Amino acid sequence: MGFKIAFLVASAAVPCVVLAHRQPAPLNAINPLQNRQFTNWFPDPHPSPQKSYWLSEIPHQGTSPFLTNNTNYTVFRNVKDYGAKGDGSSDDTAAFTAAINAGGRCSGGTCGTGSTGQPALIYVPQGTYVVSSPIQLYIDTQVIGDAVNFPTIKASPAFAPSNGSVIAGFDPGQGSTTNFYIGLRNLNIDTTSVSINSTVSGLNWAVSQATNLIYVNFVLAPNSQHVGIQMDGGSGGGGSGTFLGDLTFTGGLIGIHLNNQQYAFKNITFTGVATGIAVQHLFVGTFQKMHFEDCGIAIDVGQADTAGSVSLIDSTADDCAVVLNGSSSFLLENVHVTNSGPLLYVNGTSRVLGNDLEDQTYVIGHLYFNSNGTLVQSMGQSLPYTERGALTDGDGLYLAKSQPQYIEYGADSVVSVKNVGARGDGQTDDTAAINAALKANAGCKITYFPHGVYLVTDTIYVPPGSRIVGEVWSTISASGKAFANERDPHVMFQVGKPGEVGVAEISDMLFTVADVLPGAILVEVNMAGSQKGDVSFHNSHYRVGGAADSRTETACQTTGSPCKAAFLLAHLTPSSQTYIENAWLWSADHDLDGSYNQVIGTGRGMFIESTRGTWLVGTASEHHILYAYQTYNAQNIFVNMQQVETPYFQPIPSAPTPWKPNATWHDPDFVGCGKNTTEPRCRMQWALRIVGEQTSTINIYGSGYWVFFNNYTTDCGNNNGNCQDSVVDLEKLPEDANVYLYNLNVRGVEEIVTIGGSDGLAAAERADNPGSWGGVLAAYLGFA
């Protein structure tokens, strides 16, 4: 589609102004989530309240460059253009289906276009849309409602099947663990017109990484059998998720019927729900800023072995019969309870009665208080309150920032990079155009990336005052010789320069490489905010290989010879201060768009040196050679759930192959493995390395470190098997480093925690700590 010349001229003529801070907007009584999505920073003078969302009014220029015959393919689809009425009485089911299916889209990416070839943004304007059967979503789909006036999707009284979901977010064309790149936000989902005896649900969300569920209000019939979210992926289970948050649930039998491997939850409110969260299956669950009011049971873990571990932090419960019920590895911290029954009910016995745990830490499970491997099995005890350092907001809670949507702005405040010369066609060098747009827009405009693949041959510099928004995960892709030298790695996307302070917000983007580039650092953050949370990434992901937009899909197929496709995915430097929510750092183990073998040896996942504050909320880092997460002399890190998988081909070849450890980057060298009788299983990716004598205040609440294979075979991979020697390495830490590792879960690992690297001391072994998907520690406090 074309764009208006006036838009470009008007944008260029508006001078940049100094950013100002703003107080939160008042609570919106109709859409209670809207008070959480105000934008903290915007140009002065203050903009007027908007009547509609800018997303519907800007030119829509998104393309799918690697789709054959893509000229007429439409990324942005307004449901009203496909016949939806939104009048509260017409049946709009067919219109939603038409909008989703347009362009020959089909389930599972099986139309010959792969998983990434047919992206779609389904826009839902204000209104009430009645549906009589489930709305089926596909992978690579985002459904986004009007963020100023949430639309309502309402199940009709005749909704069928009676046990169906109003929105079927699980794409049955893929298994639940490969349901990637699906998003849903800015909606009310209403089942109040359906019979109270029906087992209807608002959403089936059996999905995995790189999915986005935020800003949805679930309105269920009171005293009914209705469920807000179910996770039913059939025989494949409920998925492998990372994050969901900023949701509300009112009424019904169950808010979230939880069935997934792991999840980070944040900012979720349950009101008048019989059971807020009913756990069917879960290995790692971390619940931050949860609010329960007038609930029978807030969180019901139920039978033994239903959940590996549960962490509940910075949360409240009012007028609930039981707050947390079940038998598992539990961590409760700063939980405020009023007018309620037992806070914790285990195997029919009250562990913590009506008293709350405000500014306290309480744990049940296996504990290590020192580094000599002494295990304490606790049926419940208080611990010294976790040192939170610089990680809290003004109320003493861990910082939690919701994804910005800029609802105070109109369309004239949004500038498309395609309006200033970028092509996003996967062929043109867009470096100069993007850098020019970011420079011009800093402090005065939102920079919008319509869907596309934007090749860059040099560093993209993001200056203070930047706000960047993508469309269905718009892609920035490194290309060319600048990124080819592993001895002199080069940054593709640089957020600020060392020492810079300001605002940089990045949402709905994807970072990748267009070729095998051993010197590519995909993202580097140097900037800190003048206030905590000023520098943030939301729903932005990293992918190396596995897709048609990169030559790595076809160039890295040789078994036993993983290619050095990228040096490092994310680097948070010493001067940075970064909030990251919902990020998947994926070195591809399989091909999303074809059937090519993927043998990709990305060097490193995320490297953190920051001391000013780092918040990781719902992140995953998978299949890197040296490590998934590494910190060096880092301070003030908060983690709400992190998930890791070891490369499926290791230990053939064994780490560090194909890389040579680089001391400048504090790489592990694995030389101690020569002293180990199980040397091959020693030479595998570290899930987590915490290194350095200046380390201080690293607080991790919930982790899942999974090892499934040795050289693609599952012989070692049963729950009690040993595919890998160790996954957590603590090196050169001071005794009082304030490092708190809570609810650490593993699979296929012999040693959960090692001190001193590959030939170090086994500080906690899986055989001593059974549970979860193989092993679980409630708390490792050897350096607290």
How many angstroms separate the CA atoms of 140 and 118, rounded? 7
CB 183 within 8 A of CB 145: no
DSSP for residue 502: S
DSSP for residue 192: T
Q: pLDDT grade, residue 600 (50/70/90)?
A: very high
Using CB atoms within 10 Å of the CB of residue 501, give its burial: 0 to 12 exposed, 13 to 18 middle, 19+ buried. Answer: middle
**Which 3 state secondary structure label does DSSP give 68?**
coil
Residue-level pLDDT at 348? 82
Q: Measuring CA to CA, which residue among 558, 541, 569, 551 is closest to residue 480?
A: 551
CA distances from 170 to 203, 234, 594 (A): 9, 10, 21
CB 7 within 8 A of CB 419: yes
Rounded mean pLDDT, 114-131: 97
Q: Measuring CA to CA, which residue among 445, 363, 464, 421 is closest to residue 742?
A: 363
CB 504 within 8 A of CB 533: no
Give yes or no for residue 726 having a pLDDT over 60: yes
CA distances from 752 to 379, 730, 748 (A): 21, 11, 10
19-21 vs 41-43, strand pairing mode: antiparallel
Give yes or no for residue 453 having a pLDDT over 90: yes
CB 463 within 8 A of CB 76: no
pLDDT tens digit string along 197-236?
999 999 999 999 999 999 999 999 999 999 999 999 998 8
Q: pLDDT grade, residue 353 (50/70/90)?
A: low
Helix (H) or strand (E) holding 433: helix 431-441
CA distances from 42 to 11, 186, 500, 534 (A): 16, 21, 19, 12
Percent of the chain whose pLDDT exceeds 70: 93
DSSP for residue 101: H
CB 295 within 8 A of CB 274: yes
254-259 vs 275-293, strand pairing mode: parallel
Give yes or no for residue 36 having a pLDDT over 70: no
How many angstroms separate the CA atoms of 694 and 685, rounded? 24
Q: pLDDT grade, residue 24 (50/70/90)?
A: very low
β-sheet bridge partners, residue 585: 542, 621
**SS3 letters for 726-744?**
EEEEEECCCCCCCEEEEEE
In the chain, what is the straight-line distance between the N-terminal and C-terminal CA atoms, in Å? 58
How many angstroms separate the CA atoms of 539 and 507, rounded? 6
| C-beta neighbour count of 660 within 10 angstroms | 11
Give yes or no for residue 678 having a pLDDT over 80: no
Rounded mean pLDDT, 395-423: 97
Q: pLDDT grade, residue 677 (50/70/90)?
A: low
Residue-level pLDDT at 23? 33
Mean pLDDT rounded to a whole number for the chain: 93
Q: pLDDT grade, residue 46 (50/70/90)?
A: low
Q: pLDDT grade, residue 676 (50/70/90)?
A: low
Rounded mean pLDDT, 240-257: 99
Q: What are phi and psi of 426, to 5 degrees?
A: 75, 5
Helix (H) or strand (E) holding 42: strand 41-43
Q: What amino acid is encoded at 166 in this protein? A: V
Give yes or no for residue 134 having a pLDDT over 70: yes
Give yes or no for residue 562 having a pLDDT over 80: yes
Q: Measuring CA to CA, which residue among 550, 538, 476, 420 is closest to residue 61?
A: 420
Could you tell me how many helices (H) and strands (E) the chain has, helices first? 5, 50
Q: pLDDT grade, residue 372 (50/70/90)?
A: confident
Rounded mean pLDDT, 601-626: 99
CB 140 within 8 A of CB 181: yes
Would you kindly state where each structural domain of the chain is located, as residue ranges?
Answer: 72-374
CB 262 within 8 A of CB 643: yes
CA distances from 195 to 93, 224, 254, 445 (A): 19, 8, 16, 48
pLDDT tens digit string along 52-89?
999 999 999 999 999 988 889 999 999 999 999 999 99
Helix (H) or strand (E) holding 456: strand 453-456
Q: What is the secondary structure of 390-431 as a DSSP string?
A: T-B-TTSSBP--PPP--TT--GGGEEEGGGGT---EEEEE-H
pLDDT tens digit string along 690-706?
999 999 999 999 999 99
| C-beta neighbour count of 49 within 10 angstroms | 9
Record the pTM: 0.95
CATH for the 72-374 domain, from 3.30.70.270, 3.40.50.720, 3.30.465.10, 2.160.20.10: 2.160.20.10
627-632 vs 329-338, strand pairing mode: unpaired
Give the length of the chain: 784
Tokens linked to 231: 């996770």
